[in-house]
Structure 1
């Protein structure tokens, strides 16, 4: 029965060992049976948290534009250990992350064209923050985007990204 539960779960999408263990616990499967089944699935490569983490980072970064911090949180919630999370995130370099942030802002700038510059600034920085981008990067990318637009260039000149990032707090 435990094998069937795991296979049904895996048929929907790849799962981490912790997600499968949780599903089995919910169904009242004994701990020793859970360990035995999951160990076997690990052994034959049906479940692989490291591969899951790498695929998750690639998919969610390219699909949703999520930054390292948001991706790390999602993987931890899925039960991936810290070492596997770090290894997966190492494949996402800072330059790629910044390029993705710029693409997200450029796409959103089309919607924000008619907004007041300060409102557009807040919304764009907020969007990047919700996706896990550090404050300093978010502010700098949004300032650059606003500076490139004739209507908002003057507003952008008054933005000090370093001061705003410091005001956002440590670790941002």
Structure 2
């Protein structure tokens, strides 16, 4: 026996084998209209299902390319850590996976390198601004650079270099204290160097050398 599957709107028991003369024309017309409607609906549904993924993929690819170009322009204006780049991408509503892929690509191209950035910032903050190791470490941590990268960069500064920087700052500052007595000048000099994060022993030695020039 052959199994027959009927459309949902067909009643096999209630449907006669042949239409009666009285209703055959009307029924045929209604059936024709229903069938045309079904074909039209199916065509629309399948067309929409096929077009949506293609359009979404195009927009997504465009967004990623635009984000990459924007990040390149950003890096041309300032150095950024990996943490800072991820934060910036999130602020631009980049998807987490897209942001991670873009950061990984920029690391491979060496556009992003936290170890290099830590060394450059350490040199700049130490040589040009005379900041101590503790202050430099704090500023690098605030930029999201890892402890490992920070420690490696700070090893480039030895204790003698730090004392030399502190003494140089103390000599520059003590010239502004020409009208102050020795005790007041020393107190202000100690406070000045301490705020820059130098250790107690470094502050004392730098102050001693600077104050000796007042005699």
Secondary structure at 1:100's aligned position in 2?
Answer: helix
Unaligned 5+ runs, structure 1: 151-172
Is 1:138 the counterpart of 2:206? The answer is: no
How far off its partner does 1:112 sit?
1.1
TM-score scaled to structure 1, two decimals? 0.83
Shift of 1:149: 2.5
CA RMSD in angstroms, aligned pairs only:
1.2
Match of 2:153 among 83, 88, 107: 88
Which of 115, 121, 127 is the matching residue for 1:56?
A: 121
Does 2:161 correspond to 1:106? no
Secondary structure of the 1:73 match is: helix
Which residue of the other structure, out of 123, 127, 136, is the alignment partner of 1:71? 136
CA distance in 2, matches of 1:132, 1:8: 35
State the partner residue of 1:30.
95
The answer as to 2:183 corresponding to 1:118 is yes
Q: Distance in 1 between matches of 2:76 and 2:192?
A: 33
| Aligned counterparts of 2:93 and 2:184: Cα–Cα separation in 1 | 52
Tell me if structure 2 keeps the 8 A contact 1:69–1:132: yes
Q: How many residues align?
A: 150
TM-superposition CA deviations, 1:38-64 (whole Å, max 9, x none): 000001100100000000001111111
CA contact (8 A) 1:19 1:79 kept: yes
RCO (CA 8 Å, sep 6+): is it higher in 1 or 2?
1
Write the distance in 2 (CA, Å) between the matches of 1:87 and 1:109.
Answer: 33
Q: Tell me the SS of whatever aligns to 1:54.
A: helix
Contiguous gaps of at least 5 residues in structure 2? 1-65
Which of 85, 97, 115 in structure 2 is aligned with 1:20? Answer: 85
